[in-house]
A and B are shown apart, each in its own frame.
Chain A
């Protein structure tokens, strides 16, 4: 627990540093001109104690300052006023704040020193946003709608580019823009750069309006995938512009179309290759857990840069890298690394998104770039708006003929309205060559106006529009096992019915792919161990149980201290409840009176789950794990205070490469030794014969309590500790589970018959050891009793947790242990236990 928090903190710091380095270019290039003269070595008269060396640190310092300012901007925007933020989209507010910041800089320098440079944007700000988006892509949704997304991305973008370019040219020829030095090809080039819907803007606006997932994936997928088209169109038309009109013949045009295929599919293919590489890498990073999360960034960035180098679509490359690797990376890496990765991705993406919008605002405050041409600007806005609507409706009309669930008219309206343009368009416009395109500045200013118009105006009106049109929102689906189970069943049913109909349908392909994936791809890319534990339904079940456990703990804390855990009274109730659930079939009556209790708990846990659910499909950069973080802290606190501490040798916490201290061999050794000692002592006491039983009777109550405490202290106690510890859905439970079994088998390996009875219950009946515990100072006793927690957990949600996923075999062990123990204990003991049951 502690380690995972530290881990996150450390990595956050680390990654912030990286961000800073990455954003190096934001302002650096500009500053060099600003301060050309270095006054480093002026006449030194003596040994300076403190020297002021601004130029030494200038570039990184400015970058850090801007990152800091952008973060503050975000903070202030968020904290500003919840009325404002509920109306205004954050992205729009950041741009407006950028205006102010730009104004300040301009006011001070009388020239815009800082602006968003295309190279900075494309190399340092964009990749992590795309990586984040693709890594968190709801894969099933994405691939099941891939056809529609591709249609929108390819044909929609081409349509937009062509119609906007041609219409503008038509208007220009008709004289609507006055006198400009611009031809048909330049108009088409402009059309192609302004055509593409921008992923950054779309994520930023749509994450705040939770529209239904299909609509979201259509808009969002389009915005991601249309990059291939945009890049190609842009490159082709730029080449054409450079070639000049007369040089273009049919061969060149066909070459242009061919480039499209190469660029788009080549980029995607490259992404897949890197995804495979990444998955293979994470297969064998077991021993360098601390940096394995970094591979995702590095390999993802490599995919991006390689594609850029080969002049393929870089965005497509990194998109497919993220989409394809997510499953295997998640399965292969340690749970903590995954948490780190998720947080770091969100951190980077959120950070650069903020930077992008702030700088989009700052860039505007510059007299140099502004060239106003009312006709051109207004017509551009008009055309992109109109043609987007026409394009969407046209394509959807065609798509709906084939879709199982047609896209509704309202959704189409939102889709057309969601055609936001953003920094990608600006970056492309800023990259234009001034020599061949004399009206570059007009294009930049028009692009900026379009960006402001779409992000701010359409962004603001998006929410009211969605509400007014009553667009189907994303259902806040709390995870339900029965739904997942039935979804799986429905898949099978559909596949079967397709087989019966003898037609190859969608499900046939899905199923064929799944089978192929399971048999070959998983085998290649996944750790054998991960392959075993990845049954879908089962993982859901596991997740639900963890959620319950965490909820229970946080509820307990909310209601006041966890004192109830320590009270002796509770222990007896625990005992009863626990055994009640374990012997459910033997003692139905106990179950009956438990049910009323259970009902109350049920309500509690359900509501508290509902209270803070995050919609299942939301690429919300912000909402990531907010809840989990909170739960983490709660559980952390709880465990820190009360967990049974073994006397193991703590590995030093300042070790750079190891955080985990719980799974060390030393601990296994430790527990083994303890077990052996208790066994030895019980062996000694066994020599005293009947004595033992008598003593048990005497210390009956304490014995029971300790049976709870000690019986589970090594096993379940740890297990639960680990479970809660890794509240984010960790697999460590499994690890410690198997480790538990190891322990038992260690005992079973010894064949001395004298040991055998105790072997099954290594700590239970070890009276001398118990006595020893009694003698220890009270504070230590309190610590030792903590393992009651699991029992309480079990009691509160008996059905749901009792045979909790990972430890169910363990539970079986324990229950069989207790059964055997019952048989072995003397009759008196039986009699003693009975009343407690009643």
Chain B
């Protein structure tokens, strides 16, 4: 365990990080290794280019958006803390863990997971998914087989399904409501982050 501790000690404020994210030391170390591997030049932070070097990610239709989600607006870099915090969204919810009544909402709560998904659509950060934003995502995800008109009608219909106040856009509240039946905990969790 000596090596474990020494790696942990190298990370500043590791206790706070573990507290906030709920990750175990083993997870933190694994993620730290990964972080270092991505950070090829050893700068201590990651740029979008570092993510772009992941081959598989380049083939992901919405990969750019996901990379973008790691960077808070206006920033070009992400440090280890922020990196882990983003990944903490995908930690499965553990029911066994005792809930402290006055603790802040954990990062991996249902609504935080949803928020993460929501901001992938909402690129201009106005709190609403407009038709154009939806169209862009659809275009990325549906590929060549579908014509532009079809895309538009799909977008229209999707908005219509969720749009409660008829402003032709999906607010987060509407987004949450429309996905009420979807098991987000299941769909937005990764097993090995447990």
Partners in one complex: yes
**Which residues of A are at the interface with B, using a C-beta cutoff of 8 A?**
402-405, 475, 477, 480-483, 485-490, 492-503, 505-508, 532-533, 535, 537-538, 541, 544, 595, 599, 602, 799-800, 802-805, 808-809, 811-812
Given contacts A502-B38, A535-B143, 16 further A-B contacts (CB under 8 A): A403-B191, A404-B189, A404-B190, A485-B141, A496-B62, A497-B190, A499-B57, A499-B60, A502-B37, A535-B145, A538-B150, A541-B153, A541-B157, A800-B156, A803-B149, A803-B152
A501 and B193 in contact, given A537-B141, A811-B149 (Cβ under 8 angstroms): yes
B187 / chain A contacts, CB cutoff of 8 Å: 487, 490, 494
Contact (A538, B182) CB under 8 Å given A404-B189, A481-B157: no
Partner of B87, one of A402, A487, A501: A501
Residues of chain A contacted by B16 (CB below 8 angstroms): none
Q: A485-B138, A488-B141 are in contact. Are A496 and B87 (CB under 8 A)?
A: no
**Is the beta-carbon distance between B117 and A490 smaller than 8 angstroms?**
yes
Q: For A497, what are the chain B residues with a Cβ–Cβ distance below 8 Å?
A: 66, 87, 90, 190
Q: Is the interface of A mostly helix, strand, loop or mixed?
A: helix
Chain B, 102-159, CB within 8 A of any chain A CB: 116-117, 120, 137-138, 141-143, 145-147, 149-150, 152-154, 156-158
CB <8 Å contact, A482 and B179: yes
Name the distance in Å between B85's Cβ and chain A's nearest Cβ.
13
Q: How far is the CA of A402 from the CA of B156 in the complex (A)?
A: 41
* Contact of A483 with B179 at beta-carbon distance under 8 Å, contacts A502-B37, A505-B190 already known: yes
User: Looking at the complex, which one of B60, B63, B87, B182 makes contact with A483 (CB distance below 8 Å)?
Assistant: B182
The minimal Cβ–Cβ distance linking A176 to chain B, given in whole angstroms, is 42
A505 partner residues in chain B, CB cutoff 8 A = 190-192
> What number of B residues sit within 8 Å (CB to CB) of A?
57
Given A489-B117, A506-B191, does the pair A595, B54 have CB atoms closer than 8 Å? no
Q: Which residues of the partner chain B approach A595 to less than 8 Å between Cβ atoms?
A: 166
Q: Does B31 interact with chain A (Cβ within 8 Å)?
A: yes
Checking A485, A494, A804, A812 against B158 with a beta-carbon cut-off of 8 angstroms, the contacting residue is: A485
B169 contacts chain A at the CB level, 8 A cutoff: no
Partner of A501, one of B70, B186, B188, B190: B190
Measured between beta carbons, the chain A residues less than 8 angstroms from B92 are 404-405
Q: Name the residue of chain B whose CB is nearest to the CB of A536.
A: B142
Q: How far is the CA of A499 from the CA of B87 in the complex (A)?
A: 11
Residue of A nearest to B90 (CB): A497
User: Is B71's CB within 8 Å of the partner chain A?
Assistant: no
- Indicate whether B79 reaches chain A with its CB closer than 8 angstroms: no
Q: Which residues of A lie under 8 Å from residue B137 when comparing CB positions?
A: 489
Q: How far is the CA of A493 from the CA of B137 in the complex (A)?
A: 12
A481–B153 contact, CB under 8 A? no
Contact string against A for B residues 53-91, beta-carbon threshold 8 Å, 1 for contact and 0 otherwise? 010110011110011001000000000000000010010
- Known interface pairs A493-B120, A499-B57. Does A483 touch B149 (Cβ–Cβ under 8 Å)? no
Residues of chain A lying within 8 A (CB to CB) of residue B34: 500-502
Q: What are the residues of chain B within 8 A of A405 when measuring CB–CB? A: 92, 183, 185-186
Interface residues of B (CB under 8 A from A): 30-31, 34, 37-38, 51, 54, 56-57, 60-63, 66-67, 70, 87, 90, 92, 116-117, 120, 137-138, 141-143, 145-147, 149-150, 152-154, 156-158, 160-162, 166, 178-179, 181-183, 185-194
Chain B proximity of A493: nearest CB distance (Å): 6
Contact of A803 among B60, B153, B192 (CB under 8 A): B153
Partner pick for A492 among B61, B67, B194, CB 8 A cutoff:
B61
Supply 7 A–B pairs (Cβ within 8 Å), ascending by A. Answer: A404-B190, A475-B181, A486-B182, A492-B63, A535-B143, A535-B145, A799-B156
Q: Which residues of A contact B67 (CB under 8 A)?
A: 496
In the complex with contacts A482-B158, A537-B141, A812-B149 CB distance below 8 A: yes
How far is B191's CA from A497's CA once the two chains are assembled, in angstroms? 12
Contact of B157 among A488, A506, A800 (CB under 8 A): A800
Which residues of A sit under 8 angstroms from B150, Cβ to Cβ? 538, 541, 803, 805, 808-809
**Which residues in A have their C-beta under 8 angstroms from that of B56?**
495, 499, 508
Taking the nearest CB of chain A, how far is it from the CB of B112, in angstroms?
A: 13
Chain A minimum-CB-distance residue to B92: A404
Docked CA distance A45–B116 (Å): 94
Are the CB atoms of A538 and B154 closer together than 8 Å? yes
Q: A485 to B61, alpha carbons, bound, how many Å?
A: 13
CB distance from A495 to the nearest CB of B (A): 6
With A480-B178, A482-B179, A498-B190 as given contacts, are A808 and B149 in contact (CB-CB < 8 Å)? yes
B residues within 8 A CB of A811? 149
In the A-B complex, the 7 residue pairs with the closest CB atoms: A803-B153, A808-B149, A496-B66, A404-B191, A490-B187, A499-B56, A502-B34
Q: Which of B30, B63, B160, B186 contacts A800 (CB 8 A)?
A: B160
Task: State the Cβ distance, B59 to closest chain A Cβ, in Å.
Answer: 8
- Tell me how far the C-beta of B26 lies from the nearest C-beta in chain A, rounded to whole angstroms: 13
User: Is A481 a contact partner of B158 (Cβ separation < 8 A)?
Assistant: yes
Q: Find out whether the CB atom of B62 lies under 8 angstroms from the CB atom of A487.
A: no
Contacts of B120 in A (CB 8 A): 489, 493
Residues on the B chain within 8 Å of A490, using CB: 117, 187-188
Contact A500 B57 (CB under 8 A): yes
